[in-house]
């Protein structure tokens, strides 16, 4: 009895003793803690400089200004969807949306085609002086947008351009061509940026695939068409999404070009309309314009991604 009771007490003490945590559980906790520490600075900055302005813009768009009498002090009160009703009734806003959509339909494919072409040239074993050409293709992106627009504005202006014989006869700053003159500036600046994204994707392709294609007798053109381009489609889609977003946010180039031509109005692009509306000042209506523009950009970007993914699945 004594031995049996001693064994029972020992077993009970063992069962009641706290069990050490599993090594995997402790390791998982440390990993989650480390992830939280590294993500926290980004989360704070993201909330302070991205989420907070968005929420403030939405709040501003739901307000309106009321006055007591004709010359009464302005008072900001809750206006519901009154500002959004004005947005959908504003023909200049939707005309500017259609203008930048036309701009994007033409400019974005041309820019991405040139970016893909330059990336393929840099990845080709037949090209010599790759460092020079990589720097030359990317150099325009290093030029600030305002400086690039001023430089091209001088080149387009008949009275200032060194090519006045051409600019006087063509009229690149006229109403029918100024949009495409701006498209040329945007293409010149951003081709190198998109080229680097596509070129980085090309460098990630295993060289064994190229070697197998060469053993099968494929030429460089065949390798580019059948191997390289299909494998960099995700990078092209990524650059296309960035370009769609940038197209709807077009502001710097037309704003600078207003100093060279009178054919660009203050409502030429959606962002210019937002800027001019806030300068009145009418911050509530400008905020409503901004919210609608952001939603339109989101819908177009998601729609484009869904369309490309559906075609890829087919």
List the structure tokens of 141.
Answer: 């992106």
How many Cβ atoms from other residues are within 10 Å of residue 231's Cβ? 15
Q: Which domains are seen in the chain, by residue range?
A: 82-313 (1.10.3720.10)
**CA 173/CA 263 separation, integer angstroms:** 7
What angle in degrees, to the nearest 10, is found between the helix axes of 178-203 and 91-123?
A: 40
> Is it the case that residue 152 has pLDDT exceeding 90?
yes
**CA 314/CA 312 separation, integer angstroms:** 5
**CA 165/CA 176 separation, integer angstroms:** 19
- Hey, is 187 helix, strand or coil? helix
Q: Which of 278, 301, 299, 297 is nearest to 57 (CA)?
A: 278
For 171: left if phi > 0, alpha if psi spans -120 to 50, otherwise beta; the answer is left
Instruction: Scan for tokens 């990524």, then name that residue.
Output: 238
Task: Pick the range with the lowest mean pLDDT from 26-30, 188-192, 197-201, 206-210.
Answer: 26-30
> Is it the case that residue 21 has pLDDT exceeding 80?
no
- Hey, is 173 helix, strand or coil? coil
The model's confidence at residue 307, banded by pLDDT at 50, 70 and 90, is confident
List the structure tokens of 114.
Answer: 């040139």
Mean pLDDT of the chain: 86
pLDDT of 243 reads 93
pLDDT of 216 reads 86
Q: How far is CA 133 from CA 117, 119, 124, 216, in A?
A: 13, 10, 12, 30
Per DSSP, helices labelled H in 19-90 are: 23-46, 52-61, 82-89
**CA 6/CA 295 separation, integer angstroms:** 74
Cis status of the peptide bond prior to 281, with omega within 30 of 0: yes
pLDDT in tens, 212-232: 888 888 888 899 888 999 999
**CA 176/CA 224 separation, integer angstroms:** 38
pLDDT in tens, 75-101: 888 888 999 999 999 999 999 999 999
> Is it the case that residue 300 has pLDDT exceeding 60?
yes
Give pTM, 2 decimals: 0.82
> Is it the case that residue 115 has pLDDT exceeding 80?
yes
List the structure tokens of 35.
Answer: 């992830």
Q: How far is CA 190 from CA 46, 162, 201, 246, 250, in A?
A: 26, 25, 17, 10, 13
**CA 49/CA 1 separation, integer angstroms:** 75
């Amino acid at each position: 009895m004594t031995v049996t009771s001693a064994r029972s007490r020992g077993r009970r003490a063992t069962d009641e003793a706290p069990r050490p945590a599993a090594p995997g559980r402790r390791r998982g906790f440390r990993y989650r803690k480390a992830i939280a520490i590294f993500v926290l600075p980004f989360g704070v900055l993201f909330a302070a400089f991205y989420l907070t302005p968005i929420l403030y813009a939405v709040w501003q768009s739901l307000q309106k200004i009321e006055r007591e009498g004709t010359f009464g002090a302005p008072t900001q009160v809750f206006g519901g969807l009154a500002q959004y009703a004005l947005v959908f009734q504003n023909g200049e806003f939707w005309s500017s949306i259609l203008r930048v959509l036309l701009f994007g339909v033409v400019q974005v494919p041309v820019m991405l085609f040139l970016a893909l072409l330059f990336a393929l040239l840099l990845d080709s074993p037949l090209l010599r002086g790759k460092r020079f050409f990589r720097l030359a293709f990317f150099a325009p992106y290093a030029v600030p947008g305002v400086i690039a627009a001023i430089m091209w504005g001088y080149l387009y202006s008949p009275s200032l351009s060194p090519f006045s014989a051409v600019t006087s006869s063509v009229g690149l700053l006229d109403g029918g061509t100024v949009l495409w003159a701006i498209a040329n500036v945007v293409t010149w600046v951003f081709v190198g940026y998109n080229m680097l994204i596509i070129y980085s994707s090309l460098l990630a392709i295993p060289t064994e695939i190229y070697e197998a294609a060469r053993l099968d007798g494929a030429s460089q053109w065949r390798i580019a068409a059948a191997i390289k381009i299909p494998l960099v489609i995700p990078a092209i889609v990524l650059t296309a999404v960035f370009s769609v977003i940038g197209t709807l946010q077009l502001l710097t180039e037309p704003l600078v070009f207003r100093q060279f031509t009178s054919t660009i109005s203050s409502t030429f692009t959606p962002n210019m309309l937002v800027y001019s509306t806030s300068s009145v000042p009418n911050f509530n209506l400008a905020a409503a314009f901004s919210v609608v523009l952001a939603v339109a950009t989101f819908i177009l970007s998601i729609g484009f991604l869904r369309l490309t993914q559906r075609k890829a699945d087919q």
